[in-house]
Amino acid sequence: MSSIWFNKDVSLVQLSKMSLNTMVSHLGIELTKIGDDTLEGTMPVDERTFQPARLLHGGASCVLAETLGSVAANMVIDTKEKMAVGQHIEATHLRSATKGHVRGVAKMIYMGRSSQTWRIEIFNDENKLICDSKIIMAIVNKK
């Protein structure tokens, strides 16, 4: 299979530098793998991502999903002229996580000229699906 990425030379190190001093770095989200048609990342399940019951906060799962979907969406377009911004996100929380890390995998569902749709599945350390998410990205002109 050939890669879907517009800029095939982008590295995980370059992508990580863009996230310094943002919510992404604050929550400990790390991009871990660029596949031919997927982008993966992890997030710790700890005091930064817990809800009061000491379970992974659903909002933290949405942050991981939006991070992966947004980065991936921008990797398939020419970012000199355009940028991808989140327009709608939905998440179905299937089970909880209480420790370790979660791993998200983003895969494109649809790519048009003005929008993209990505599915992000989030798994616990036992590789069980804990959240199924979908994000719609608007493709807009840079100003």
**In the structure encoding, which two tokens stand for residue 111, read together?**
């790519």
Q: Which of 40, 47, 66, 90 is catalytic?
A: 66
Q: Is the distance from CB of 64 to CB of 26 less than 8 angstroms?
A: no
Measured at the CA of 89, the angle between CA 137 and CA 129, to 5 degrees, comes to 115
Q: What are phi and psi of 94, to 5 degrees?
A: -100, -35
Instruction: Kindly tell me the sign of the dihedral angle through the C-alpha atoms of 7, 74, 39, 28.
Output: positive
Amino acid making up residue 30: E
Annotated catalytic residue 121: no
Q: Which residues are catalytic?
A: 66
